[in-house]
Structure 1
């Protein structure tokens, strides 16, 4: 596989995933106001993972439906083709002259797009990792003793770290009830592996940095994550405990908030305080049947979208892309030969086809040599063959050279 073919394949794959993920994400944004108060917050959080699956799973490759075409026969070497035609041709001498294939050293559009996409992904991913590294370094430098510099560094309780998660508290005096609520919240994040989800969303955002919808999906998942975490904590509390938990949120929100990269904080956005407090006060148990039914409907819809993407990937164009560029051209040469043979079966025509093309896959011209066991075809048949070749190769007729031998 050449660099151009590899670049084209990667770009096509990324665009396919971003299209599938965008369709699922758009559907979830439409459903959000409908199910907001009708389904548990945990369901509303986990449903967004279907969008992540669409953005990261190349269904057009994994679920590819094979397309069989008996007319497609991989061609052998040009020497074998000549021998095959010579065996069926008349005793006329065959003098064949083929124009050399044209080669270009200029990068294709796919290669340029691939480089541009890679640069964007590296910058987006590198930015978050560097910010995280700098913050961890500062935190490690000042975590031995409480002082004014440490107080300025940590302003809100956070859960940070992937392999060894730690709960970090600001230099502030908390009551026993507040401390219990804070630790329950952060430990719930740890049990649900929300730090891993943060890393995953950062990676997805870097891969699809050019898709603005992914930014809104990340923001929505972060908000849904906190709502689901609150729900998981308060379902074990009575009404008084829920009120105290809400008071803890208000107390934490009163502190200045500084977002930490790749961390989970108890409160990331003051704008969501009203929604979180409202969700706490409206908390109720949902019938299991409702949740199961909603899950089945969501899974069915997502599977239909993924299946449609897989069917699209099984199209004729994608099937041809499984072959190298040289194989693709040999297949097209073979199909054109078959079409010419079927065009005038009475004269038992045989043909030798040579296609010249660029490294980008663009066909520049074609040479067709017609061999007939009887009399040479008349001008009308030759014109028809030219028109047939123009249609098969999607090439201007003036770039098709036809000769009887």
Structure 2
């Protein structure tokens, strides 16, 4: 939901910034449809999961090809988490309540409050108009209304009432539509234009569209951008409706229609509801509507623009959403979704902010069952998952955080491996491998501190070998001399009383690779 709110805020703001320019070039109908598409994007927080291909590393200035070879972990005495019995209080205290649960509770309360407010307000409005409305039975008006219904190809029975408590013409009712008219003196032409306007609203199901927009504002009540979206959509709804009313009319009729709209402005001081069409939407909006209806220049169709907006809505945040998707399941592996759920249950809410000691204790309490033991033993020995630890978020959590922080000798050391076979086309390969050992001296440091240290060191070591010039691949001393300042810098930045670092590496130049003669430095 938060991902949806952020991505749709960006799309909404970009569209609103571009709208003044788009209004001069594209038809109101398509501008309104784009607004509805954006509203649907706000309302539906889930997007289709689309796997975007990740392009392989390419060198623009050399022909180096790097192959990262996953190696099995050299575990310490026991690969299994420490098992303790009884005391599960720490786990319950750590995971039963979190900041996200508080946020979720506030969000639900906000939704309930907003929904209750709009329902009560609409109910009050219906009571008022029921009490103060009179059905119009004038033959002339009924004949005009039926004629306009026939013109719009509408068969539904639509009532027409005069209501003294409303500000401007409007239509209410999902299944039993009613056109409400304030007690205004209107000419036949003015009345014809107003009734045509309201009937077009009915034909396009605009009340349902407004309900959808209202649902989006309730769902994202905490985000001010969603209210801007709903207001912009409401204005484009009226502008596009005006355009349909006046599409066959001359300049004189357009001016007359604008004067009709202006004539209701002094009356705007009474009952309203958001679940209706609304002939009047405010002075600023009226100005935009009048300028639009007086603009009779030919506009482009906005089909391409609509498709572009729809694709943007669907594809925005694909990276975020695919990340969320990876947090639940990895397809085509030896584990079922239920087993992944059990493994990821160890990724407690806010676990990165927990101390290493608390995280270890929480895991130990949770896995104290034969089923968990069997599952963890299978996972620790799964070479496929091991090979995915640098490309998949689940595997990274399991192998880079859960395993080293909960292993029997977790406080002594744990090794992280990366190896690269570096090839030049049609030539012998060179080989680089390094190991990182992190010794935890203070188990009160956070999991996040430990993880960030590991990530930073591994990223810099990976970047080092990936950026080696081809000339260095022939000489181990060149690589060693280039690497020493980097290793010294890493030790200066990350070695402290809480965490001890040991870093070993091996480089074999081109033509000298022998798996039995690898020596670490």
Match of 1:131 in 2: 121
CA contact 1:21–1:53 (8 Å) conserved in 2? no
Q: Does 1:98 align with 2:84?
A: yes
**What's the RMSD between the two structures over aligned residues?**
4.1
Runs of 5+ in structure 2 lacking a partner?
A: 54-69, 71-77, 137-161, 331-336, 347-371, 387-397, 417-436, 452-497, 500-521
Deviates more, 1:255-264 or 1:153-162: 255-264
* TM-score, normalised relative to structure 1: 0.68
Shift in Å at residue 49 of structure 1?
Answer: 2.3
Determine helix, strand or coil for the equivalent of 1:261.
coil
Aligned counterparts of 1:59 and 1:389: Cα–Cα separation in 2: 42
Residue of structure 2 aligned with 1:368, choices 389, 402, 408: 408
Q: Does 1:56 align with 2:34?
A: no
Residue of structure 1 aligned with 2:4, choices 7, 17, 22: 17
Shift in Å at residue 210 of structure 1?
Answer: 0.8
CA contact 1:158–1:263 (8 Å) conserved in 2? yes
CA contact 1:65–1:310 (8 Å) conserved in 2? no
**Larger % of helix: which?**
1
Aligned counterparts of 1:125 and 1:270: Cα–Cα separation in 2: 28
Provide Cα deviations, 1:303-354, integer angstroms capped at 9, x if missing partner: 442645544444x445489843555436777555669xx9xxxxxxxxxxxx
Residue of structure 2 aligned with 1:246, choices 258, 274, 277: 258
Aligned counterparts of 1:335 and 1:26: Cα–Cα separation in 2: 45
Cα 1:369–1:384 change in 2 (3 A) is closer
Shift in Å at residue 156 of structure 1?
Answer: 1.5
Provide Cα deviations, 1:343-397, integer angstroms capped at 9, x if missing partner: xxxxxxxxxxxx9xxxxxx99x735279xxxxxxxx9xx6346956979x86969
Cα 1:242–1:269 change in 2 (3 A) is same
Aligned counterparts of 2:320 and 2:344: Cα–Cα separation in 1: 26
Match of 2:316 in 1: 305
Match of 1:43 in 2: 30
- Report runs of 4+ in structure 1 exceeding 6 Å deviation: 388-391, 393-399
CA contact 1:257–1:268 (8 Å) conserved in 2? no
Aligned ranges 1:386-401 → 2 under 5 Å: none
Q: Does 1:156 align with 2:149?
A: no
Shift in Å at residue 261 of structure 1?
Answer: 2.8
Residue of structure 2 aligned with 1:282, choices 292, 295, 298: 295
Determine helix, strand or coil for the equivalent of 2:176.
coil
Q: How many residues align?
A: 325
Aligned counterparts of 1:66 and 1:280: Cα–Cα separation in 2: 44
Aligned ranges 1:347-362 → 2 under 5 Å: none
Cα 1:66–1:324 change in 2 (3 A) is farther
Aligned counterparts of 1:45 and 1:275: Cα–Cα separation in 2: 14
Q: Does 1:267 align with 2:280?
A: yes
Aligned counterparts of 1:249 and 1:123: Cα–Cα separation in 2: 34
Determine helix, strand or coil for the equivalent of 2:25.
coil
Match of 2:108 in 1: 118
Cα 1:292–1:198 change in 2 (3 A) is closer
